[in-house]
Amino acid sequence: MKKKDKRVQLANRIELLKAKQETDFIILKNQFEITYESLKPINLIKETFNEIKHDSEIKTNIFKTSLGILGGYISKKVLFGNSNNPFKKISGNVLQYIITNLITNKVENK
């Protein structure tokens, strides 16, 4: 009698584990689909833009960096223009780098 009870208990336990395995598989499959959707490039881009839209610090950093780059570029074009001289090109790039850093640092300190 005890052997039959143990067999019945074992069979019941096996059925419970099979049911749990099936539900776990369904949950895993659903999570995989969610992860797959979230990792699509278009969804990553949307998420990034939403973060930028809602985070004022990122907006400020983008503005500061853009302002610095623009200032450096304009100063290079004003002082050196479109020269073909390699020395002027190198000097212009160095000047652009310096001006960009100066403007960016000045804006950050304010």
What sign results for the dihedral spanned by CA atoms 65, 67, 71, 73?
Answer: positive
Torsion of CA 18, 19, 21, 27, to 10 degrees: 170
pTM of the model: 0.49
Structure-block tokens of residue 92: 């212009």
- Please determine, for residue 15, whether its predicted confidence score (pLDDT) is greater than 90: yes
Tokens of 69: 């780059």
Q: How many angstroms separate the CA atoms of 34 and 24, rounded?
A: 15
Residue 83's SS3 state is coil
Q: How far apart are the first and last CA of the chain?
A: 86
Span 18-25, average pLDDT: 97
Region 5-32: what's the mean pLDDT? 94
Q: What is the pLDDT of residues 23-57, one digit of tens each?
A: 999 999 999 999 999 889 998 898 888 888 888 78
Per-residue pLDDT reduced to its tens digit, 68-96: 888 888 888 888 888 888 888 888 888 88
